Amino acid sequence: MFMFSLILFCLNMNKILLMLLNLEMVMLMLYMYLLNLMMMMSKSIYFMLIYLMMMVCEGVLGLSILVCLIRSHSNDYLKSFIIIM
């Protein structure tokens, strides 16, 4: 599932919203893998709580940047931002 989400992230390079959703899917799969690993090794899962907080902050930051870009350029196509820069 992790490789599938990475492949989707590489293939959906035309809209920023799809890229953000695929990035969240990658982070969620990595979280599930690390959680299973921590549970099998009987380690403390406080690290997973910090990782989950970082995932939420990354998602909020990505969505706020997306809203600012849509307000200024009125679309979320990645190719239009590359041409403008």
What the block records as the tokens of 48 is 């997973």
Give the SS3 label for residue 42: coil
Question: pLDDT tens-digit profile of 7-40?
Answer: 877 777 788 888 888 888 889 989 999 889 988 9
Q: H/E element holding 11?
A: helix 2-11
CATH topology of domain 2-84: Helix Hairpins (1.10.287)
The residues spanned by each domain of the chain are 2-84
- This prediction's pTM: 0.75
* Stated length of the chain: 85
